Structures are given as structure tokens and as C-alpha cells.
Amino acid sequence: MMDKKLCQSCGMPVDDEKLLGSNEDGTKNDDYCVHCFKDGKFTSHETLEEMIEICVPYMVKDGFEEGNAREMLHNTLPKLKRWAQ
Ligand SMILES: [Zn+2]
């Protein structure tokens, strides 16, 4: 459970190789998911705050209360590789 792989941009669990993003040379990128990273580049250039707002509705769909979802994202996303400086 602890070593479950997460996309280092959006925090989505990446438990299937098909969900991994791709490098410029077509190989899989281990850090990011297919939604965030394609052909060696991020698919969009949102800020951390924007990313949180993009993720909230997905978590609400998964059954989270909106305020809790936002708080959780504020706690977890800044630690991911893309956002941690
Ligand atoms: Zn992602």
C-alpha cells in the first residue's frame, strides 16, 4: 500500500502500465500519468492551485466531500515531484 505508485503531478494512482505517461523516445515515464505527461512534456502548464481545482471534482465523484477533497489535495500534491521544490 505504501509503495503504491502515484502520478507525481496529479496524484492519481498509476497501477497499470497503460496509465503511465510517455517519454520523447516513446518509452514509458515512471513518474507521471498519461493525462499529465505525453511525449516527454507536460500536457498542460497549470499551477499547483489549478491542479488542485482540476482534481477536486474527480475526488468528489469518488465520494469525497468537496472541502475534504480540497484539504487532502493541499496536503498531498505539494509533496509530489512536479510541485516539490
Ligand atoms: Zn497525472
What residues does each domain of the chain span? 17-79
**What's the rounded Cα separation, in Å, for the pair 63 and 23?**
33
CA angle, 74 then 46 then 3, to 5°: 50
Instruction: Measure 20 CA to ligand 1 centroid, in angstroms.
Output: 9
Q: What is the mean pLDDT of residues 73-80?
A: 96
Q: Three cell numbers at 16?
A: 497499470
Q: What pLDDT band is residue 1 in, cutting at 50, 70 and 90? A: very low
pLDDT tens for residues 7-49?
Answer: 999 999 999 999 999 999 999 999 999 999 999 999 999 999 9
Instruction: Measure 14 CA to ligand 1 centroid, in angstroms.
Output: 8
Burial class (CB in 10 A: 0-12, 13-18, 19+), 27: exposed
Q: What pLDDT band is residue 3 in, cutting at 50, 70 and 90? A: low
Label the pairing between strands 37-38 and 28-33. Answer: unpaired
